[in-house]
Structure 1
Amino acid sequence: MNTPFRTMAGATLRRGTLAAALACASWSALAAVPQATVTPTATPGFGARAAFFGDADFVEQEVHLSGLARKFKGSGSLGSDGKWTATVVSSATPYNTMAIVRRPADPARFNGIVLVEWLNVSTGYPLDVDWGMAHEAILREGYAYVGVNVQKVGMQGVQKLKQFGDRYAAGSIPDDDISYDIFSQTAQALRDQSALLLGNLKPAKIIATGHSQSAMRLATYANAIQPLDQVYDGILIHGRGGIGTRIGAGDSLPSSYVVRADTKVPVFVLQSEMDVAFGPSTSKQPDGAKVRHWEVAGTSHADQYLLDNIGEVSGRDVGWTPPGCGSPYNASSFYMAENAAIHHLKNWVTAGTAPPVAPRMERDWLGFIKKDAHGNAVGGVRLPDLEVPIAKYSHANFTTGSLAFLDLFACVAGGNTTYFKADKLKTLYPTHADYVNKVKAAADAAVAKGYIRPADRDAAVKRAQAAAVPQ
């Protein structure tokens, strides 16, 4: 079978002569983002989601990216303030990888913003976590989306899947030290080769996103690579841990660090309650002229909404669906806060309008997050779920069966929901109308504060109207 990966492999290797010339070039030439070769494919591949677009008139296709990637190394002090300097140490590592493109079919519906997700490979496969969280807003508000696999294990994962034959056989990412450059080359390709990636759409601004492991790498990217390459207009770091990932071989990072305060592009750090509970050092991130940090109370690293969405494709392509755990997954509406964060980033990069500063979660004298009388977190960004609670939303869960890594991960990261008993609901909300009116008020307040979008406000009210509260 003649796949795009196979046809690109020879061309990639022939670039060795160019790489040798680049190795002798000036540092400024090395620092320029190399051009990737972009090869669209005719059929959907791993992670295809067009079947779930509903009434949205979106186009989905897979593209293959290949080229020669640079490697970086930290230069000077890599301190906790994130003000790092990276230098190019090589520029001749061949790679072949895949990306998923989803975009409005009608240019009139395109809002000009392309979201580029650093696909998450914690499961061994490249999963589109931020799409899973924000897909309703992306489809509704006309963003274009590119999910790119930039890590070795992600490529190895799709190569193991027999249903795709040799589609990915020539894919190659030798090591993750080139992940930063593949990510830069993706944005550069969107600027220089938009017709191949986006058809008749022209991007006005490009925003990077990444969750969990990808968020930690994206934090390193924001501190060290973005200042060098300057290819993204904004960055959304979603669910980062306190630790970081190296720039290159031999680098030693501090035990914790923040996003640099002097970033030239807006950076939005969006954290769940679980993220700041397990990584309290991330709460040291200061808000600034170009940095915003939100901590969303009552939320988990993953949740029911996200795991259901991931399960749509992982069950089909990988044979994995979220397992049953000791208690229900966290059912809060964290996705609404991400929808709002993306909207704020859009306004920040296009009009210079900064997002609202939000309060942090409150902590006791031991440093633990304070809880209210219902067992829910105090402070932070508060969604209608927390302002008008029908449950305790937490992040303690466990598996009741399988000890396989993915099942353990889903149960731990998925958090839990402990619903209030009928007598407590009756005390809190004497009538159904009382409950609905309180949700309406809380949702209106959340919109006014900028924590949720109007469409999500309507969804929250509709859910309240359908809920059997009180029982």
Structure 2
Amino acid sequence: MSLRRLVPLAALLGLLLPTAPATALAAATEPGPRVVGPLPGALPGDRLADRIEDTYPFFSTPDDLAAAGYVEQEFHVSGTADGFATDGAPVAADVPYATRVVVRRPAHARDFSGTALVEWQNVTAGYDLDALWHAESVVREGHAWVGVSAQRVGVDQLRAWSPARYGGLDVTGGGRLTADELSYDVFTQAGRAVANGSVTGGLRPRTLLAIGASQSAARMTVLYDRVLPAREPVFDGYGFVVGPAPTRVGAEPVFQVLSETDVRTSQRPPDTDRFRRWEVAGGAHSGHAGQVYRAPISERDLGGAPAYDCDRPPFSRVPVHHVTAAAHEHLRRWVERGTPPPTAPPLEFEADGVTRKRDALGLALGGIRLSQVAAPTALNTGDNSGEAFCRLFGTHVPFDEQTLARLYPDRAAYVRRVVAADLANVRAGHLLPADAKRNLRDAVGAR
């Protein structure tokens, strides 16, 4: 089984999604919002078709889920939600809404870990991104992943992309609340639908984790700091990735993972018995792995993948998602066993508190140092500049042959350094053993 292998999408989604007529779609019962689905439709299909059966889920994954014993399904979730300003002040009550959730989960209960990762879909690009979906780690652990469309920008784009499939969705109260006032309650209600098994094929998670990246982390910070104190808890723990994290000390533990891009000052909150923060040297806010994964989906669903003219070669290849996978496992254990995660060294700064310390190769000092930084073959940083989103992509500049020869007398010397770095990270709890093995395979196969 290879999750990196792309299978013909028609065959894959034909296995994942049922083709029952819309009139046969099941609706969940209370508690929780109303759930309709799984929605019919599979690739290939016409997103502008008149019938929902002839459409397919936006940004449906090309990962070979069927071979891994997983399914992908899409649901509509609806009900009434309360609205809140960004300061937590209530601004509306019992406003009708309808949105969608995408679920990727084990097909059989025996393969389910009991953990569900509920992601607040990121809409910075103007459409829903499953920024924290990483098939290799999710499937390996047997978790369920659920993506929630909570914000107006994402839902409006869905409505335009396929009126047949998404035309009835609305998270603005008919245009009255356009600043995502309903998003906090919509997200938590989707969490309830996961908790009661109505969108997971009856699988009821033991541990429900809310996760969000970048802008989504910022929205979840408002939820945690200003909305949750007056609401009934839904999630057991929260993961904030490449974005801000709450300042409130709540009952639910909080884990923050930042790339080098995101750490701009030496001033940072301390770790506590409810909060943990990790910083990844050389990592980018949006790195190489995510770009490679999304390129064929963008071609399929948006007509082309975006191109960028950055001042330096973009897309750091430090796999921040490996650290995020380890953080999710620690967060799960923190919730289930009360075991606090390990701490991690922070990135180092010069005396001015804003200039990062770097070694002779230009690599950042301090932080979690994966083998791509501790045994480097390229300059990977979190910094870049240029048009559009270039500042989020970091840099990747391969070393020349002279530099490589100076660092590593032979291939065996390089592989030994990779192994030593990743073993240290596994022992520290910053890397899962399976991802260390992945790094070793990559090192052995490198030119």
**Conservation of the 8 A alpha-carbon contact between 2:281 and 2:381:** no
Q: 2:203 aligns with which of 201, 204, 222?
A: 201
Deviations 1:177-236 (A, max 9, x none): 0000001101122223x1x31113121111001111101111111212333231000000
Give the one of 288, 296, 309 matched to 1:304.
288
Q: Which residue does 1:45 correspond to in 2?
A: 57
Equivalent residues of 1:308, 1:322 under 8 A apart: no
Query: Which residues of structure 1 form unaligned runs of 5+?
Result: 12-32, 79-85, 242-257
Aligned residue among 60, 77, 88 for 2:72: 60
Match of 1:343 among 329, 334, 343: 329
Distance 1:47 1:292 in 2: 32
Does the aligned pair in 2 maintain the 1:205–1:350 contact within 8 Å? yes
- Under a length normalisation based on structure 1, what TM-score does the superposition of the two structures give? 0.80
| Correspondent of 1:90 among 92, 95, 98 | 92
1:395–1:260 Cα change, 3 Å:
closer
Equivalent-residue separation in structure 1 for 2:246 and 2:151 (angstroms): 22
Question: Structure 1 residues 52 and 320, CA, compared in 2 at 3 Å: closer, same or farther?
Answer: farther
Give the aligned partner of residue 315 of structure 1: 299
Q: Tell whether 2:187 aligns with 1:183.
A: yes
1:35 to 32, 43, 49: 32
Change (3 A) 1:322 1:436: farther
Deviation track 1:334-375 (CA, whole Å, cap 9, x = no partner) reads: 111011111111111111111101111111012211111110
Between stretches 46-55 and 262-271, larger displacement belongs to 46-55
Aligned length: 400
Q: Distance in 1 between matches of 2:94 and 2:233?
A: 21
Deviations 1:47-102 (A, max 9, x none): 2115543631101110001111101357xxx7xxxxxxx46443221111111011
Tell me the residue number matched to 1:137: 137
Are 1:466 and 2:445 matched, yes or no? Answer: yes
Equivalent in the alignment of 1:389: 376
Aligned to 1:267: 254
TM-score, length of structure 2 as denominator length: 0.84
Deviation at 1:395, TM superposition (A): 3.1
Q: Secondary structure at the match of 1:188?
A: helix
- The alpha-carbon distance between structure 1 residues 165 and 188, as it changes in their structure 2 partners (threshold 3 A), is closer
1:23 alignment counterpart = none
* Residue identity in the other structure for 1:138: V
Bigger RCO of structures 1 and 2 (CA < 8 A, at least 6 apart): 1
SS at match of 1:374: coil
For 1:34 and 1:240, how far apart are their aligned partners in 2?
32
Unaligned runs of 5+ in 2: 1-20, 42-55, 173-177
Distance 2:249 2:268 in 1: 16
The whole-number CA distance in structure 1 between the counterparts of 2:416 and 2:306 is: 34
1:135 offset after TM fit, Å? 2.4
* Structure with a larger share of its residues in helix: 1
Which has the higher mean CA deviation after the structures are superposed, 49-58 or 351-360? 49-58
CA deviations 1:359-399 (Å, max 9, x no partner) are 11111012211111110111111111111111111234356
Structure-1 residue corresponding to 2:167 = 169
Task: State the Cα deviation string for residues 87-143 of structure 1 (Å, max 9, x = none).
Answer: 644322111111101100121111000110000001111110011xx3211011100
Q: 1:110 aligns with which of 109, 112, 122?
A: 112
Using the TM superposition, give the Cα deviation of residue 315 of structure 1 relative to its aligned residue in structure 2, in angstroms. 2.0
Q: Following the alignment from structure 2 to structure 1, what is the Cα–Cα distance between the partners of residues 339 and 221?
A: 22
Give me the CA root mean square deviation: 2.4
Partner of 1:236: 239
**Take 1:316 and 1:446, find their aligned partners in 2: how far apart are those partners?**
37
| Shift, 1:324, TM fit | 5.1
Question: Structure 1 pair 108/183, CA: closer, same or farther in 2 (3 Å)?
Answer: same
